Amino acid sequence: MKSIFKYIATAALALIPVITSAQAKKPTIMVIPADTWCYENGFMNTYNNQGKETKVPDYESAVQENMDLVNVITKIGELMADRGFPLKDLAATVRNINQSNAEDEMTVSRTSGATLAESPLDRLLNRAKADILVELAWKINSVGPKKSVTYTLRGIDAYTGKQVAAAQGTGPQSFSAEVPVLLEEATLERLDNFASQLQAHFDDLLENGREVTVNIRVFDNGSGLSLEDEYDGEMLTDIIDDWMAQNTVNHRYSLTDATDNMMRFEQVRIPLYRENGTAMDTRYFVRTLSKYLAKQPFGIQSKILTKGLGRADLVLGEK
């Protein structure tokens, strides 16, 4: 009887890693067409980025007018879902942006008129709140009646824009003319490795925090506020630096520049989740600093300006 109990206990212990792995948190992803695909297929808009014309992908027209794109995104999403990755749908996100009256072209200070432009991609990222973007591009090759597809998949950290995973190749020749079928045949061999790269990056985020950029600035409104001002004998620059040390994951961040009116923090590692379990983004992280500086003995008003998910500017001196 003891040997039976011993066997059951051993088997149960052996299952623990499997159960833990199955319950591991997965990154939320959104599949989007790569910029090169949008350019080659005529889905680009010209965006006025603070006076400079910039071409950006027109995701709305792409998902409305190109059925191959919709089918391919659906297929890749299905394959990633089979591997346990939560998905954000591009078409649904675009619709939500268009239906929201709260989406403004500019964020403006009520008093000084300071502005920070937000690009269409920034708005998409802010609405989707995906951890990783999967950029997809493909090209159909034809040899007589047979077809094959050459594809590229890139996993991009939505907060930093850094590539964290990649897969590319050309699938076998087939008589099928269905692009999603050709793409599935082409990607299956490399998709598990691609998913493993995504998961490895997300595991690093869980352990070491999400990497973001935080800028501290001072409104030029004649208030005389300076980052060199002292509170209880300590300079404001050092107070903010100490706050960063206490609130980043493993105290990981870099103060790359500091003057009397600006501070630039890069490689700031913020927790992936708030205490209530919801995702933390750069804006929420900086808002906690804003609330801290609003209290006594500081009493400093501030305004938060964001650009995408991975950067927030805290401008001191007014709302």
Looking up tokens 């990981």, which residue turns up?
Answer: 252
46 touches 38 (CB < 8 A): no
Give the bridge partners for 115, in sequence order: 108
302 touches 319 (CB < 8 A): yes
DSSP string, 157-196: ETTT--EEEEEEEEPPPBS---HHHHHHHHHHHHHHHHHH
CA 58 to the chain's CA centroid: 19
pLDDT at 222: 56
Distance CA 161, CA 157 (A): 5
pLDDT at 285: 96
pLDDT at 119: 66
- In order of 188, 198, 216, the CA distances from 167 in angstroms are 11, 11, 38
pTM as predicted: 0.79
Contact partners, residue 127, CB within 8 Å, separation at least 6 = 93, 96, 97, 100, 103
Provide the residue-wise pLDDT of the chain in tens; the chain has 319 residues: 444 434 434 433 444 333 333 345 788 899 999 999 999 999 998 877 667 788 888 999 999 999 999 999 999 989 999 999 988 999 888 888 776 544 444 344 444 444 445 566 777 777 778 899 999 999 999 988 899 999 999 999 999 999 999 999 999 988 877 888 899 989 988 999 999 999 999 999 999 999 999 999 998 765 678 999 999 999 999 999 999 999 999 999 999 999 999 999 999 999 999 889 888 899 999 999 999 999 999 999 999 998 878 999 999 988 7
pLDDT at 157: 94
pLDDT at 128: 78
